[in-house]
Structure 1
Amino acid sequence: MTSTSLQDSTGTAVPAPPVAKKIPTERTHHGETFVDNYEWLRDKESPEVVAHLRAENAYQEAVTAHQEPLREAIFQEIKGRTQETDLSVPHRKDGWWYFSRSAEGKEYGIHCRVKAQDSGSTVADWTPPAVEPGVGIPGEEILLDGNMEAEGKPFFSVGGTAVTVDGRLYAYAVDNSGDERFTLRIKDLRAGELLPDVIENIFYGVAFSPDGTRLFYTVVDESWRPYQVKAHVLGTPVADDVVLYQEDDAAMWLGFELSADRRHLVLGIGCSEYSETRLLRFDDPAQALTTVISRNERVLYEAEPFLLGGKEKILLTHNRAAINSMVSLADPAELEKPQAQQTWQTVVEHSDDVRVNGAGVTATHLIVSIRKDTIERVQVLGLAGLGTPAQQAPVEPAFDEELYTAGVGGSDYEAPVIRLGYTSYFTPSRIYDFVLPTPEQPAGELLLRKESPVLGGYDGSDYVATREWATAGDGTRIPLSVLRHKAVRQDSTAAGLVYGYGSYEMSMDPGFGIARLSLLDRGVVFVIAHIRGGGELGRHWYEDGKKLTKKNTFTDFVDATDWLAKSGWVDPDRIAALGGSAGGLLMGAVANMAPEKYAAIVAQVPFVDPLTSILDPDLPLSALEWEEWGNPITDPQAYAYMKSYSPYENVRQVAYPKIAAVTSFNDTRVLYVEPAKWVQELRNKTAGTEPIVMKIEMDGGHGGASGRYVQWRERAWDYAFIADALGAAELLPGAGLK
């Protein structure tokens, strides 16, 4: 590694970018050999590698030092709009109201509860208590103070919590490094003491058995894939914990949850194309797992066992002869027959225009999550007559805005209400309770419990969100969400930013973001490109942007950029691009395809060396990716196709724009080595003079550093880099904090 001093355009001395030495490593597959000069950077235990990464940080700090006042301004805007002392809306579970508090100056939330009262009045008993920010209430208990837990630790994140039905024991899992391996502890809430049971290296998710004697948790293998569900009997050695199930297929993911009525442990095994559910009955002394539908049937489904009129039923959300999925009802006895002989009752029919995302039950109603016209919605219908001609019509809570997101935020099985979360681009997060329909109130009732406060004189009417459509090269219409300050004029002078993801059927749904306001207030037109590979327009939209159609994701993003350049809103020379993780792969791909279209690109935790990663099944999560990208190990066509777009292997001798790769040393999903190699190759090949930097958080994971203030500063760094590159550092007249 070498480094010398240079001068920037102002004459200020800055170091030259670090130059990693080249140690050629050959990788041969399907008769093709690729020489990788920087694979040695993968050794995170090497002092030389760590020194190189620190040199990268020193370089980016020097190159971007002039952005510090802008970063500080954006950070203060985020902070100034955020009510730092706040709380969540309490939710009721097993006779308690649970909620969390945040406090000014504190990085982490404080998890609390207070005893619920039962008066016999449905409305009163399910109305959350009036909890005030910064003010305790009689009987309030602190379950977990994240600030105390994080004290003296470089990182802090909670990976799951659980409470026994009787409310006595509280389990919580904590990560102090960012590698998403958690330590689980159990607190006796009555005694206020920790139990001696401590379980190391677990994955997300914990749950108690209904009788509170066992604790279920998930373990990952060496490639960071969750592959075991274990049961710990309280008070016994962890070494004696029983493996309830182990998934040996390296391409399958494993998880679990309790059924809504808590009569079953539900194990979910699957990939993006098919799945398998196994059930454990808590009242079965033999504790034998039963399979609902075998993975051999190649059906992608979720199963919810429940009692309907006192009879055992299984609710299936599935894609059997239904690419957008549908909801059916089945008797367990039917599922024991060969599938061709099974009879299922249709509950929600398949539609080419409606994507069914999932379904669940309460004691009285079916809750269905759907996506229609790109928007996520919630529908409910009574269990009476379910799957028969007497089935009730669905009821959908009505909202006023065109572009919004509404989703189920949780419910208690016996509750007469369900909790809904609602947001839009310029409506701060709202929490509603939706009173489930009854014969007396067939439309239900929507009760607003809270709208997250936004300080600093925020007025949503200062901003505009519209749905526009770009046209892809193959004629496909690509939905765009275009966000701007109302003061921006359509005179082709503004700056623009295009954001995208486009993988794993994940949708970039409308949502409020305080940090984004800082860009809009500087006149940046913010475009969210709902490109293929996501889920905004149903399963076809996803299928048309994965495996051997993956390049549609990249070309759609470029076409969205072209729409913005020609829209009349922005100066075509003042457009930047932003994306993270698989969206970081997108950034690397479009940088190679169309570098001239962007003034700057920010790639967050970017998956820019995908072929190297997926060719090695021992690397974290690699085998799980085969269903998304193809298996280049066994399939020469998949190998050739991936190699044709892999950002690292397609860097070419063109003038690249300003590029920032933002990553974390302990990220287990996209390893730091990918952007580290990528920026070296970019610097080797670029024919331009724009800086290419890597910012690495040495104590963070896939989501960056922990702590809200640190995360605000990270977002301020990204946005300052973009605004500076676009010449959009100054606030519009009258915009900003009031």
Structure 2
Amino acid sequence: MTKSSGINPPIAKKIQHKLEKHGDVRVDNYFWMKDRTHPEVLNYLKDENAYCDAEMEHTKAFQKSLFEEMKARIKEDDSSVPYKYNGYWYITKFEKGKDYPIYTRKKESLDNPEELLFDCNKMAEGLSYFKLVGISVSPDNKRISFGIDTTGRRQYTIQIKNLITDEIQEDKIENTTGSSTWANDNETLFYTKKDPITLRAYQIFRHKLGTNVEDELIFQEGDDTFGATVYKSKSRKYIIIACYSTLTNEYHVLNADNPNGKFEVFQPRVRGLEYSISHYDGHFYILTNKDKATNFKLMKCSENDRAIDKWIEVIPHREEVLLEDIDIFKNYLVISERDNGLNKIRIKRWDNSQDYYLPFDNETYTAYTTTNVEFDTESLRYAYNALTTPASVIEFNMKTQTKKVLKEQEVLGGNFNKDNYVSERIWATAEDGTKIPMSVVYKKGIKKDGTNPLLQYAYGSYGSTVDPYFSTIRLSLLDRGFIYVITHVRGGEYLGRQWYEDGKLLKKKNTFSDFVACSIHLIKERYTSSKHLYAMGGSAGGLLMGAIINMAPELYNGIIAAVPFVDVVTTMLDDSIPLTTGEYDEWGNPNDKLYYEYMKSYSPYDNIEAKDYPNMLVTAGLHDSQVQYWEPAKWVAKLREMKTDTNKLYLKTNMDAGHGGASGRFESIKEDAEEYAFLLDLEGISS
């Protein structure tokens, strides 16, 4: 039996606030929590944190030992596999006891002296949050641009370092995405600015080094459902502006040797036409859904004649195979596919003398191409891992078809043996008869007698697929008898693009009912029982958690909802909130009554009832740019007001971070340890 601190939970004050749309009135008594600067809001969040800490005080020693156990499996003095780009080998490494990465490079040979680019540990001193992104080296290798965020709100400041003098230049560009790209003159930098309120990336600027000229706005995305970014083609010939929404793309191109020139539209946007472009040998290769190619096909056109009616098919559309990505090399085309949920990597010579797939022999693995920045090479880098197999980075010679493992993730601590664990793929039947796949892992020897604790995880939105991956952190659950399940619900793209289409907009409820159907299947097949079943999801996966506890609370003993998107209707009606307008193609626009009513029918906050709910741990980030902190805060306040049980309900807000939680590699593990302690405590496991 878990302990209680005896402290009464915080009760948030209620101020009636009426929200009216389409003649429908909703009353939101916690709307006042939207002001992040108001002392009462901050005090409420602090009170919730204090309550959570007091209630979980008896697990503090266990949390500490879990943290040490998780940390002990990680190789602290670790480094990435070096990759070569433009004459230099680039390396990222971690040092023992330090939270942040160190970036270095070596000229031509790995035997040459190491040159320090950034020590993020020094840069992060005195800061509660730190993230460095968007490292971009000038073509002459003399300068490097980078972005820094010190709040977790994903508003980055771009700076430039002179690699000859080792000095950071005075240029400071605020409120950007953090990434930037160099023209071939080594003097011109292109970057993306964000709207300061909505955080939408929408303006592309040209920055000239060493001049007092104000940065020139060269492109502004006028449609607030679109975002924009800028990058350089792998061939290094083109600077490319990409405009993107959920359903539509548009690209603009400029020769990188002519940075003062005018960008040309590649193919004007047509609603529903998705495409991406890669440049090679006088042609653009286009991954697209043109002509109802739901699972995408590959086409090409001359770089000088890009009209859509001149696009030629290279790889046709296939009903059963999702074409996910391509990597272009001088002699090879590498195609990343997904067939029946499984990753496939196909290698094809341009002259058609070779065409084959890499062999994988598992049903619960993840394989994907990694850092392949060199163009003229026969080596392909790819990563492989599985629920029971640590990650490895493999270098594959595409000509000889031989491979070399460059690095295998070490699991320290001495007692890990992958043969001690079992993984399988099983299928449940959804309400409408659709078969829903699950990837399952557990310790060998477990009996399926309904007594096992089981953690069921899913995301299920934006076509984002959670592949079955290895986790050293997860071993702390598996070794204590937990079964872990990744549920591949509709809304992701596990079974192709249609899998996504069937879990969004007016079919969104499929995501929720799929998850519940999988829970019922796991109980029926005696993997677990409702006394021992737990569910977890974050962000849009937190919406999933909110929906399932309204639909079938009796199935679950405990829920972890991380930074959950739970106030769907109110958020989607507020276009001043970051990212709202770009989400209309995912959830629908509630200014349309049809979408309003459908959203309202599943929005977790709007559907809380007076009934019993499972034990719950809810997390939030005060500076979250994706899901505003007030969504989980309001949700917990309303749940506490309405629920009829005596189960645990905790809200833990990180007052220093945003959507991704803590920034240091060990600080984030402390959050994992707290979440696992919550689950294990509910199972009466304390060591």
* Structure 1 gaps, min length 5: 1-7, 118-128, 130-136, 385-390, 731-738
Distance in 2 between residues matched to 1:695 and 1:297, nearest whole Å: 41
Aligned to 1:79, which of 67, 71, 75? 71
Amino acid at match of 1:499: Y
- The C-alpha deviation readout for 1:302-348, integer Å capped at 9, x for no partner, is 012332xxxx2111100012000010112245533xx4xx1432211
Distance in 1 between residues matched to 2:430 and 2:505, nearest whole Å: 19
Displacement of 1:249 after TM fit?
0.6
- The C-alpha deviation readout for 1:383-407, integer Å capped at 9, x for no partner, is 23xxxxxx45533222343321111
Match of residue 335 from structure 2:
368
* Structure 2 gaps, min length 5: none
Distance in 2 between residues matched to 1:501 and 1:276, nearest whole Å: 28
Aligned to 2:173, which of 189, 199, 216? 199
Kept in 2, the 8 Å contact 1:522–1:729? The answer is no
Match of residue 388 from structure 1:
none
Match of residue 635 from structure 2:
678
The yes-or-no answer on 1:406 pairing with 2:367 is: yes
Displacement of 1:616 after TM fit?
0.7
Aligned to 2:106, which of 105, 108, 114? 114
Runs of 4+ in structure 1 displaced over 6 angstroms? none
- The C-alpha deviation readout for 1:411-445, integer Å capped at 9, x for no partner, is 112233222122111211111112233xxx3xx32
Match of residue 150 from structure 1:
124
Distance in 2 between residues matched to 1:9 and 1:481, nearest whole Å: 30
Kept in 2, the 8 Å contact 1:576–1:726? The answer is no
Displacement of 1:191 after TM fit?
1.2
Displacement of 1:350 after TM fit?
0.8
Displacement of 1:357 after TM fit?
1.0
Correspondence list, 1:464-479, <5 A: 464-479=422-437
Correspondence list, 1:309-458, <5 A: 312-321=282-291, 322-332=293-303, 334-336=305-307, 339=308, 342-384=309-351, 391-392=352-353, 394-411=355-372, 412-437=374-399, 441=400, 444-457=401-414, 458=416
Amino acid at match of 1:280: L
Aligned to 1:231, which of 206, 214, 220? 206
Aligned to 2:146, which of 172, 191, 195? 172
Distance in 1 between residues matched to 2:462 and 2:171, nearest whole Å: 37
Kept in 2, the 8 Å contact 1:317–1:327? The answer is yes
- Look up the SS of the partner of 1:653 in the other structure: coil
Match of residue 531 from structure 1:
489
Kept in 1, the 8 Å contact 2:158–2:178? The answer is no
**TM-score, normalising length: structure 1:** 0.90
- Look up the SS of the partner of 1:723 in the other structure: helix
Aligned to 1:37, which of 21, 29, 46? 29
Aligned to 1:555, which of 503, 506, 513? 513
Identity of aligned residues (%): 37
Do the aligned partners of residues 71 and 158 (structure 1) sit closer, same or farther apart at CA in structure 2, a change above 3 Å counting?
same
Distance in 2 between residues matched to 1:84 and 1:284, nearest whole Å: 45
Match of residue 132 from structure 1:
none
Match of residue 124 from structure 1:
none
Distance in 2 between residues matched to 1:647 and 1:279, nearest whole Å: 43
Kept in 1, the 8 Å contact 2:620–2:651? The answer is yes
Distance in 1 between residues matched to 2:146 and 2:2, nearest whole Å: 52
Amino acid at match of 1:402: E
Displacement of 1:25 after TM fit?
1.5
Match of residue 419 from structure 2:
461
- The C-alpha deviation readout for 1:679-717, integer Å capped at 9, x for no partner, is 011011101011211001000111001101110000111
Distance in 2 between residues matched to 1:435 and 1:563, nearest whole Å: 44
The farther-off stretch of 397-406 and 222-231 is 397-406
Correspondence list, 1:263-278, <5 A: 263-278=237-252
Kept in 2, the 8 Å contact 1:495–1:728? The answer is no
Kept in 1, the 8 Å contact 2:2–2:681? The answer is no
Kept in 1, the 8 Å contact 2:490–2:511? The answer is yes
Kept in 2, the 8 Å contact 1:78–1:712? The answer is yes
Amino acid at match of 1:669: Q
The farther-off stretch of 212-221 and 66-75 is 66-75
Backbone CA RMSD of aligned residues? 1.6
Kept in 1, the 8 Å contact 2:148–2:178? The answer is no
Aligned residues: 683
- The C-alpha deviation readout for 1:124-165, integer Å capped at 9, x for no partner, is xxxxx4xxxxxxx65101110010000001101112111112
Distance in 2 between residues matched to 1:333 and 1:90, nearest whole Å: 36
Match of residue 19 from structure 1:
11
- Look up the SS of the partner of 1:515 in the other structure: coil
Aligned to 2:590, which of 632, 647, 658? 632
Distance in 2 between residues matched to 1:298 and 1:601, nearest whole Å: 37
Amino acid at match of 1:225: R
The farther-off stretch of 170-179 and 675-684 is 170-179
Aligned to 1:585, which of 543, 547, 550? 543
Distance in 1 between residues matched to 2:649 and 2:94, nearest whole Å: 37
The yes-or-no answer on 1:695 pairing with 2:657 is: no
The farther-off stretch of 414-423 and 489-498 is 414-423
Distance in 1 between residues matched to 2:667 and 2:626, nearest whole Å: 21
Kept in 2, the 8 Å contact 1:159–1:203? The answer is no
Do the aligned partners of residues 285 and 91 (structure 1) sit closer, same or farther apart at CA in structure 2, a change above 3 Å counting?
closer
Distance in 2 between residues matched to 1:668 and 1:379, nearest whole Å: 38
Distance in 1 between residues matched to 2:172 and 2:500, nearest whole Å: 41
Distance in 1 between residues matched to 2:500 and 2:578, nearest whole Å: 24
**TM-score, normalising length: structure 2:** 0.97
Amino acid at match of 1:214: T
Distance in 2 between residues matched to 1:236 and 1:462, nearest whole Å: 62
Displacement of 1:722 after TM fit?
1.4
Do the aligned partners of residues 297 and 563 (structure 1) sit closer, same or farther apart at CA in structure 2, a change above 3 Å counting?
closer
Match of residue 483 from structure 1:
441
- The C-alpha deviation readout for 1:242-272, integer Å capped at 9, x for no partner, is 1221101110121222111111011111212
Amino acid at match of 1:445: T
- Look up the SS of the partner of 2:27 in the other structure: strand
Aligned to 2:54, which of 62, 81, 86? 62
Kept in 1, the 8 Å contact 2:242–2:251? The answer is yes
- Look up the SS of the partner of 1:15 in the other structure: coil
Distance in 2 between residues matched to 1:285 and 1:169, nearest whole Å: 17
Aligned to 1:298, which of 272, 286, 296? 272
